[in-house]
Structures are given as structure tokens and as C-alpha cells.
Amino acid sequence: MFLKKVKLYKEILVLISISIYSYFVNWQSGNIGIMPIDSFGFLDTGYSITKGHLPIRDFWIFTGLFVDYMEALFLFLFGNNWNSHLAHSSFINILGTIGLYFFLKEYELKLSHIIFYCLSFATLCYPLSGTPFAYIHAYIFSILAIFNLLIAIKKKNSYLWFLFPYMCFFAFLSMQTPTAYILIILLFFIIYYFLKERDFKNLKFFLYGGITSILLFFFFLISTKTPLINFIYQYILFPITIGEGRISSEETAYIGLLDQLNFKRILGEFKFIHFLLFPLIFLSLKNFKKNNKNLNILNFVIIYSTIAFFFNQLITANQIYIFSLIPILAAVIHVNLNSLKIDPKTFYIILFVVLIASVKFHLRFNIDRKFHDLENIDKTKAVQANIINENFKNLKWISKSDQPNNELKVIKEALKVIDNDNREKTLITHYQFISTFLDKSLNILNRWYLWDNNTHPTENHKYFEFYKSLVDKNIKKNKVKVVYLLGQKNEINFKNVKNYFTDTCFKSKTIVPDRFSMHEIVKCKK
């Protein structure tokens, strides 16, 4: 009994320790520099939810629905501030790390090795961004779904089979991909598994999980009065056009698939993943002959999921976020080596590779902030952001496109003007924290504003009229009288914005040239 208590206390201490590390390594990263469109993306949408202004129903999003509601929860619990924003992403980093701990524990690795892999994962996962980021959210919940599936199969655990569809749903509602790519094959594998094993008891729990998760989603739509058609257009149909554009390299595409399939990108940027993936494939083939069912399933699922993550990373125009696959692949190799009773010295090679990768990417992405394109920016010029608002405590402000003092001067002026304007208004900006920190609803139209059909339909897009009707409904419902535009130099053009509005004229005023302007909605002269 005493030894059991000691073991339990030891495990609790380990879990607390890796949780603290997971939290603060992300916290530190998130306080160094910003990329406005990514760093602030969920602050105002989360705040809007707390005020009853809901995504999909009231304003346009094309991904990140679950992230928005998570953000709203953290803002509600901890206040409208930067710390709440980072607490959100740091908490999700903890979830991924703890999930990896319990996953590796099932495959009987040494505790010291498990801790090492967990610390590496925590370092290479959310800290790359630091702030809430839809792709990383989806990635972590996809990883948790995979861990959930493998343990459910290994232990024949009904509750985990029930939970698996929920994990997939959370991942999909964070970002449609890579979850969709992973499920394409895994669902066929799951059907095959149930038929082969005749495990109909757990099949029922799996189906219960799938059915209840879908029913709860429809209950959510009904209870929030969110039209299903809005969800289909914003979350399904419009994102499909983005994918089609990237694959076909259309003029409106952000980037084409063929542009990504080059030697430098495929092998150069992902060399550590390849360095571990190919040995894992080799070891899995060797272990296949031993007819170890659980190990074979583990290898298949991890290898396929890695390829799916890799494919998704290649065809997106987003920053690299899958480096935390390195400790996962290394750990699964470790499991395979244990099965084959390979010389223990080989383990140290694997651990060394993970250590080198962790240090390399921590310095380059977390410290130098490559994820936010700040690796070549002099971060000693960063300015404490609380000079513009007390809610920005701890953030060292520096961005790619401007000198921080100039940028903050414009933002400070904008905050003053907007705060003193008591009319109903909307703000179009990449600085999506102003509504939150002023604690004023600014009737946002979108989460992001890019003019290449990658965040919302523009005038030449087949879904533009649907989008325009949503904007028009928002403007009229909230009786908006003035539109503010705020951005970095020449970032947001009012010529594009005017296309959103139906039968509307404006009286415009420049407040800061090329940065900040006001456009009053007025009656059009006949």
C-alpha cells in the first residue's frame, strides 16, 4: 500500500512539473513579438461571444469555431487581457503534453524517457506560435484523438471509444485539416478493426460517441440561432474553394501545390521528421513479422498520421507547426527497439536527435520568433506593449512591418478616437484586440481581412453575395454609423471595403495617413 502511494505521489509530481513547464515555455514565447493577423486573431472574436455577437451567425469566419469559444471561456474566467489570451494557448499545450505522457505510459517506456519526450513535445508544439492558432489547436486535438484511438484498441476501453469522435470533432471545429485527411483512412481502418475483431460492444460506444457529438452540435446551432446554411457556406464550401485554388494554382490562390513540392521544402525543412520516419517504417516492417497486433496497429496509425500531417503542411501556406512530431516519432521508434531487443546504446542516438531538434527549433522558432517572421528583426528594439493599454502586461511589442514606437503611436491614437466615439461602429483591422481591451462591441465583420479570397470572399468570388448579405445584415441590425480602418502602412484599402456595403455612401476622413481612417455612413444623394 505504501509503495503504491509513493508511486502515485511521484506520478502526480511528474504531471505537475511537466504541466508547469508546458505552460510557461509557451507563455514566454507568446510574450516575444507579434504578427498582428496571427497573434490577435481570436481575441476580439472570443470577446464578441461573451457579448452575444456570435461567429458564423453574426460575422464571418472560415475556421477556428472551437478556438473562438475556448477563447471566450478564458476571457470570461480570467478577464479581457493578454494574459488570458496566452493562458488559453498554454493550457492547450498542457493538454497535448499530458496526453503524450499517458500515451507513452501505455507502451511501458522508462519514466525518464517519457519525461524527456514530453518536455520536447511541449517545447516544439504551441510555443512556435505562443498565441492561439487554429492549425495548432486542430493538430493537438488530432494528436489526442490518435492517442485516444490507440489506447482504446490496446485496452479495449469503451469510454475511450466513446470519446474518440469528440476529439475528432474538436479538432475539425478548430481547423478542417489535417483532421479530415487523417480520418479519410482511419475510419476505414476502424471499420476493418471492428469487423475483424468482432468487438461489437465497443463499436456501439464508438457510434454513440459519433451520434451524440453530432446531435450536440445541432443543439448548439439551434440554441444559438445559428443557421445551418451559414455553417455550410463558411465552414465547408468556402474553405473548399481555398483548397481548390491552392491545388490548381489559380490566380486568386495564395499559393499553389506545385510551388510547394520542391526538394528544399520537402527534405530540407522537414529533415528531422524524415530522419525518424524512414527508420520507423523499416522497424515496423521488421516487427510486422512478429505478429504483435498492438505494435503493428501503433506503427500503422503513427506512420499514416505523420504522412497526413506532412501532406497538409506542404499544401498550406501557413508556417510550419509539426515539429513536435519529432519526439512522438522518436518515442514510437523507442517502443519498436524495445520490442526487437536492440542494443540499448541505439536509444541514446534517438534521444540525441530529439535533443538537437528541440534546442535548434526552440532557438529559431520560439526565441527568434521565426513563426511570426521575426527571425531577422532586432528584438532589442521591442517596446513594452502596456504603454498603449494596461491589459497588454508582459508583451514585448515588435512586428515585421514597422518600428514599434511608430506602430504603437498610431494604435494609441486609434484607441483614443474609437473610445471617444459613442456611435455604433465597426472596426476593420488586423489588430483584433481593440474591442476586447476597450471592452466595447465594435461589430466586427470578419476575424481576418485579406483580399485574396483566403479569409473571406471578395468581389470576384462565387460566394461573395452570400458574404455581402451577412455583412449587410450585421450593419443594419446593429445600426452601425461609422466604419474605422486601422492597419500597418497601406495594409487595408477602403476601395475593397466599400464593396461589402449595399446602397451606402460615405463621408471619409484620414486621421493618420495610410494607417487610420474614419468613414461615416451617410445617405446617398439622388
Q: What is the SS3 assignment for 155-172?
A: HCCHHHHHHHHHHHHHHH
End-to-end Cα distance, the chain: 88
Average pLDDT over residues 133-149: 97
pLDDT higher than 90, residue 229: yes
Share of the chain above pLDDT 70, in %: 95
Mean of the per-residue pLDDT values for the chain?
91
Burial 191-206, CB ≥16 within 10 A → b, else e: eebbeeeebeebbebb
CA distance 43 to 59: 14
The most distant pair of C-alpha atoms in the chain lies apart, rounded to whole Å, by 88
- pLDDT tens column, 3-24: 677 788 899 999 999 999 999 9
For the record, the C-alpha cell of 191 comes out as: 471499420
CB-CB contact of 463 with 237 (8 Å): yes
Q: What was the pLDDT predicted at 3?
A: 67
CB atoms within 10 A of CB 149: 25
- pLDDT tens column, 402-424: 689 999 999 999 999 999 999 99
- pLDDT tens column, 156-173: 999 999 999 999 999 999
For the record, the C-alpha cell of 32 comes out as: 516575444
pLDDT higher than 80, residue 333: yes
What are the two backbone dihedrals, phi and then psi, of residue 81, each rounded to the nearest 5 degrees? -150, 170
| Cα angle 500, 503, 504; round to 5 | 75
pLDDT higher than 60, residue 259: no
- Band (pLDDT 50/70/90 cuts) for residue 251 is very low
pLDDT higher than 50, residue 49: yes
509 has which bridge partners? 518
pLDDT higher than 80, residue 461: yes
Whose CA is closest to 506, among 430, 419, 425?
Answer: 425
Q: What was the pLDDT predicted at 107?
A: 92
Q: What was the pLDDT predicted at 248?
A: 58
Q: What was the pLDDT predicted at 16?
A: 97
pLDDT higher than 50, residue 138: yes
pLDDT higher than 70, residue 55: yes
Average pLDDT over residues 96-109: 96
Q: The pTM is what?
A: 0.94
CA distance 265 to 275: 15
Q: What was the pLDDT predicted at 127?
A: 98
- Band (pLDDT 50/70/90 cuts) for residue 254 is very low
- pLDDT tens column, 69-82: 999 999 999 999 99
Q: What was the pLDDT predicted at 289?
A: 81
- pLDDT tens column, 59-72: 999 999 999 999 99
- Band (pLDDT 50/70/90 cuts) for residue 459 is confident
- Band (pLDDT 50/70/90 cuts) for residue 261 is low
- pLDDT tens column, 475-505: 999 999 999 999 887 777 787 788 888 778 8
Average pLDDT over residues 36-42: 93
- pLDDT tens column, 188-209: 999 999 999 888 899 999 999 9
Q: What was the pLDDT predicted at 9?
A: 87
Whose CA is closest to 517, among 478, 476, 475, 487?
Answer: 487
Domain boundaries of the chain, sorted by first residue: 2-30+61-226+261-372, 384-522
Q: What was the pLDDT predicted at 244?
A: 73
pLDDT higher than 60, residue 256: no
Count the residues in the chain: 526
pLDDT higher than 70, residue 247: no
